[in-house]
Amino acid sequence: MSSARIIDGKAVAADLRAELAKKVADLKSQHGIQPGLAVVLVGEDPASKVYVRNKGKQTVEVGMHSVEHKLDENTSEADLLALVQQLNNDPAINGILVQLPLPKHINSELILNTIDPDKDVDGFHPTNVGRLAIGERSLVPCTPTGSIILAKSVQPDLTGLDAVVIGRSNIVGKPVAQLLLRENCTVTIAHSRTRNIQSVVKRADLIIAAVGIPEFVRGDWIKPGAIVIDVGINRIEKPDGKTRLVGDVNFDEASIVAGSITPVPGGVGPMTIACLLKNTLEATLMQKGLPSA
């Protein structure tokens, strides 16, 4: 039986998109500016195709200009670099996203580092990583931003909380830890070499799990009343041979103990595209010398 408040990521994401649509409309009417997002897809990866389609659809729905570049699997690194440069120089494009994974013959790091940091809506460019670390205005990776928005949807002021992030990847663990510091949390980052991880997690008022191991965090690791944000997306096989998605937290156990918890699916996942659009608006404002909306 679940006693935790279930944090509805779909609803929070829908609210964020509605808020963005209003801000985009204001930007158009007051300054004649329409933010533009370009998404580049190389190859035929079915999951990536679905992501790109959803990104394009939601970009248009909030009133932004959407451009999709679908390139053949055999596109050369030089041709992809040339496209990124062209988008860097295109004034109608404020945000550039190159969908990962890229085919093996292309150096992903080289491509991502070629994106103009001011248009880097994924927030992966070293310049943006550095800006986040020193507390400058920057474009912040989308999933970490979404995780913080969800935590703040149940507790608007996170000041002073003991926060434990499980995972130290560049795309989730490290940036989410930086954002928690910015929110005045006391932050611990746990990882595969952490000793006695259960007792580390048990201290936390706020847990952000980004491990990539199905149902890794058990109910008895959680302090009663804690906020639990589950970033994990893992597909596991059920006894009947079908598959289902689970997070990095054992939801059935955790939801008895936690104060609030994100489900998988329907928690952090839906926030990612909404935060990409938030970044596209922020990138536009930064490029035009306007304050954050």
141 binds ligand NAP (CB under 6 A): no
3-state class (DSSP) for residue 211? coil
What element of type H or E holds 87?
Answer: helix 77-88
Q: How far is the CB of 72 from ligand NAP (least distance, A)?
A: 26
123, 175 Cβ separation under 8 angstroms: yes
Specify whether 28 is catalytic.
no
Q: Does the footprint of ligand NAP cover residue 12 (CB under 6 A)? A: no
Say which of 116, 120, 122, 230 is annotated catalytic: 122
| Sole binder of ligand NAP in the list 36, 95, 123, 232 (CB under 6 A) | 232
Nearest distance in Å: CB 144, ligand NAP? 9
In 3D, which of 114, 117, 141, 137 has the Cα closest to residue 127? 117
Does residue 48 bind ligand NAP (CB under 6 A)?
A: no
Query: CB of 77: closest distance to ligand NAP in angstroms?
Result: 24
72 given a catalytic annotation: no
Distance in angstroms (rounded) separating the CA atoms of residues 7 and 17: 17
CA distance 68 to 98: 10
Binders of ligand NAP among 146-175, rule CB under 6 A? 166-169, 171-173
278 is a catalytic site residue: no
Among residues 258, 269, 278, 284, which is the contact residue for ligand NAP, using CB under 6 A? 269
Q: What is the contact mask toward ligand NAP in residues 175 to 194, using x (rule: CB under 6 A)?
A: ---------------xxxxx
Q: What is the dihedral of CA 116, 119, 125, 131, to 10 degrees?
A: 110
d(CA 99, CA 169): 18
Angle at alpha carbon of residue 219, lines to 264 and 251, rounded to 5°: 15
Which residues, numbered 192-231, are part of the site for ligand NAP (CB under 6 A)?
192-194, 197, 210-213, 231
Output DSSP code: residue 244.
E
Joined together, the tokens standing for residue 160 give: 């002073």
Q: So which residues are the catalytic ones?
A: 55, 99, 122
Binding residues for ligand NAP (CB under 6 A): 143, 166-169, 171-173, 190-194, 197, 210-213, 231-234, 248, 268-269, 272
